[in-house]
Amino acid sequence: MDLILSLVMLTAVALIAGAVFQWRRGARRQAGLMLVLAAVMIANVLIWTVPDSSGTAPLERAAQP
């Protein structure tokens, strides 16, 4: 699961870089959509890794048998 979360974050960074490139080329809609997708991916990683009020992250609960 750590590998998957790492790949998601790397992809989000690549999407942000691609959005900057597209923005400079004038493709504003595509750049905006890429930024929205990157934000959704980052939010999903945060949902899986940030602990709740009991101090346990969903990722830790999913790893337990």
Domain ranges of the chain: 2-63
Say yes or no to pLDDT of 63 above 80.
no
With cut-offs at 50, 70 and 90, classify the pLDDT of residue 38.
very high
Q: What is the pTM of this model?
A: 0.83
Q: What angle separates helix 28-49 from helix 2-25, to the nearest 10 degrees?
A: 160
64: left (phi over 0), alpha (psi -120 to 50) or beta: beta
Contact predicate 37/18, CB 8 Å:
no
pLDDT at site 21: 97
7 token code pair: 């790949």
Model confidence at 65, in pLDDT bands (50, 70, 90)? low
What pLDDT is recorded for position 54?
Answer: 83
pLDDT value at 33 more than 70? yes
* Res. 22: pLDDT tops 90: yes
Residue 8 CA: distances (Å) to CA of 22, 43, 53? 20, 11, 25
